[in-house]
Chain A
Amino acid sequence: MRKKLQLGTLLLLAVGLVLLPKLSPFFIVFVATEILILGLFATSFNLMFGYCGLLSFGHGAFFGTGAYVAGLLLQHLQWDFFWVLAVAPLAAALVATLIGCLCVRLNEVYFSMLTLAFGMMIFAIAHQWRSVTGGSDGLAGFPLTRVGLGLDLVLANPFHFYYLTLVIVGLSLAAIYTLTISPFGLILRAMRENSERVAFAGIPANRYRLYGFILSGLFSGLAGALFAAFSRVAVPEMAHWTQSAEPILMTILGGSQFFFGPLAGAAVFLGLKTLITSYTSEWMIYLGIILLGMVLFLPKGIFGLFERWLGGRT
């Protein structure tokens, strides 16, 4: 019965998202696109946090790499967007492999600090390497190419972009979900609970963590590439630790122990920000107060509220 409820909810949500552009004011399409992209970023971050128990403070490195590679490919080579979306995440995965090799050996707060350090190194490269990355201004004004694959979509059209994002994010979330319920995902979860035991069972814990890290980096890079096309820019701040803090915030808000928690957190966070800035330019204090309230009164995040009905804990 619960399964039917979950499936039903999912279907309803999917229908709602597909119909969104027809039903909502024009600007909401932009907000929804941003929520989907950052929701993907947060969900892939949560692969490490919720499932492995490792809080990465440097995921902006992968997000930023995805954004810059996408920007560079569009600016210099004008590839079809489909190929950009194929290659940029791979670049991010490569960076994740290099960083991951060094980070997964560490635990807890040390892992967090080392990922922060590496994230900031990527930021520094983006900021200082003026000739390639455009320095502090980043990349801007790159063309939005055709999508390719014979699809007649114009990326500059917000509706087309929204639907493209919806499909890509949907497929990515499905892929990540499949991972989490696979034996691989179970091992990750086991490591969160007791990594010594996992090692005793003969499983090379660090190697699995690394795989998780690389996959997490891959999807974060995909989100970054989408974001670059959406925002029309790739800037160093996308690799800064303050950017890395956003998926963390969204995940905790939504509930790290639920698969859709990060996405819900992204919706709430961005929705709140959009709402607050409509009324006042003093958004920081109001956002802070609301976050404070959520921390004090919503211990398991938004999803925790509905835990009973939805089940589906990781």
Chain B
Amino acid sequence: MLRKLLVMTIVSVMAIGVSLNARAEGTVKIGAIYLLSGAFSTYGQFAKNGIELAADEINASGGILGKKIEFLLEDSTGKANVAIQAARKLVYQDNVDLLMGLDSSGVAKGLVPVVPELKKPFIITHAATPDVTGSLCNKYVFRIALNISQNTKAAALIAKELGVKKWTTIGPDYDFGHQSWEFFGGYLKQLDPEVVLSADPSFPKFKAEDFTPIINKVIADKPEGVFISLWGGDLINFIRQANNLGFFKQNFKILMSLGAATEVLTALGDQMPEGIWVGTRYWFAANDTPTNNNFVAAYKKRFGDYPSYNSQGAYAAVYAYKAAIEKAKSFEPDKIIAALENLTVDTPSGELLIRAEDHQAVVNGNWGITKADANYPIRILDPIRIFPGKDITPTPAESGCNMK
């Protein structure tokens, strides 16, 4: 009797929860899945900021086809099965119209094959594994952010110009680190067959606190170029420890594929060495366009910092949905998907074309050399190198996407 009571109580409370979540008429609901807890929760927070800003701006000017935007956040906790259940909840219980998300590439690889069951469009704004618009591509999933192939192609182009031949890498010991090295090495070899890729690259444990053994090892190995794909907290730890050990005073060239992320530069302040080539998925000072200038100003005013790439990605995704819905004049998933294909969206990152063949946005790459500047509290990039998207994005055939 009491077990039944328990089960019935839970079921009815959840049923109440469901009815409370029933959609208010006249809104368009976006479900967003990001890392909201744990060591990388800052990225979820950034995404939330971006969505909030976009939603408020759009709602202030009348919404999308007259309907206001409402968004719901779910925590992926970095696990694919949790993200999948969260996506199911957003679609079946909360009745969202649109989905977006994903910080972790691992979660993306797990969730993307399941999205067709949910029958809603999904725009990925952060996860960078090429597979999502490559081998795992499907008609519901889009990506508006720079992926590993694009970023490493830009890095390889810079590496070629630097001219050195013996390269090694320091990357986190999980698929992101390994894939970054594979793609970088592959592109660089194509550009310069004389390049020698180290047989003993360094992959310290992901979320390791101590990179000193690796730093000493790389210094001892005496490479000519080091490609670093560490990111976030790992990169901050690495740079501080590397500073102490004289890593940046050695005479090898350094490329940091995610070194220009604003959260890294903000945390480090003037601990960030100058004169290093760093890349990012979005650089706030790269485009002197009204869209970008307005975005950066609005973001800084509201949140107090320069926008990180994750905020821009989320912001751009909301605007992409707006553009697609307005083009399709409908909220139906299939029509939105058709409208997103070959759509050119104006984002702070520039005018992006979302390709029909693999749903990857042809995003520009942003690299630059770090420099101190009295006008900014963080290191900025000077010179900035913008790589046009069409120069760094592989063709749909190359990306391995077979959507039809």
Contact A13/B3 with A30-B85, A281-B73 known, Cβ cut-off 8 Å: yes
Q: How far is the CB of B358 from chain A (nearest CB, A)?
A: 16
How would residues 230 to 251 of chain B score, 1 for a CB under 8 Å from any chain A CB and 0 otherwise?
0000000000000000000000
* 20 more CB-based (< 8 A) A-B contacts, given A20-B11, A141-B136, A271-B14: A9-B2, A13-B4, A13-B7, A25-B93, A27-B18, A27-B92, A136-B106, A136-B175, A136-B206, A137-B106, A140-B80, A140-B112, A156-B117, A232-B84, A233-B84, A235-B110, A264-B6, A277-B75, A279-B17, A281-B74
Q: How many chain A residues touch the partner (CB < 8 A)? A: 50
- Please tell me if B208 contacts chain A, counting CB pairs below 8 Å: no
Using CB atoms, name the residue of chain B closest to A231: B81
B2 near A306 with CB under 8 A, answer yes
B1 near A130 with CB under 8 A, answer no
A12 near B75 with CB under 8 A, answer no
How would residues 54 to 72 of chain B score, 1 for a CB under 8 Å from any chain A CB and 0 otherwise?
0000000000000000000
What separation, in Å, do the CA atoms of A16 and B5 have in the docked complex? 11
Which parts of A256-277 form the interface with B (CB within 8 Å)?
260, 264, 267-268, 271, 274-275, 277
How would residues 283 to 312 of chain A score, 1 for a CB under 8 Å from any chain B CB and 0 otherwise?
110000000000000000010011001100
What are 22 pairs between A and B in contact, CB < 8 Å?
A: A13-B3, A16-B7, A26-B92, A27-B88, A30-B85, A30-B92, A34-B85, A127-B174, A135-B175, A137-B174, A138-B109, A232-B110, A232-B114, A235-B106, A264-B6, A267-B6, A268-B10, A274-B89, A278-B20, A279-B17, A281-B74, A306-B3
B17 near A302 with CB under 8 A, answer no
What separation, in Å, do the CA atoms of A251 and B54 have in the docked complex? 44
Q: How far is the CB of B3 from chain A (nearest CB, A)?
A: 6
Q: How far is the CB of B114 from chain A (nearest CB, A)?
A: 5
- Please tell me if B190 contacts chain A, counting CB pairs below 8 Å: no
Note all chain B residues with C-beta closer than 8 A to A136. Answer: 106, 174-175, 206
- Please tell me if A118 contacts chain B, counting CB pairs below 8 Å: no
B106 near A138 with CB under 8 A, answer yes
What separation, in Å, do the CA atoms of A9 and B6 have in the docked complex? 12
- Please tell me if B162 contacts chain A, counting CB pairs below 8 Å: no
Q: Which of B80, B93, B173 is A233 in contact with, Cβ under 8 Å?
A: B80
Identify the interface centre among A24, A231, A268, A306: most chain B CB within 10 Å of its CB: A231
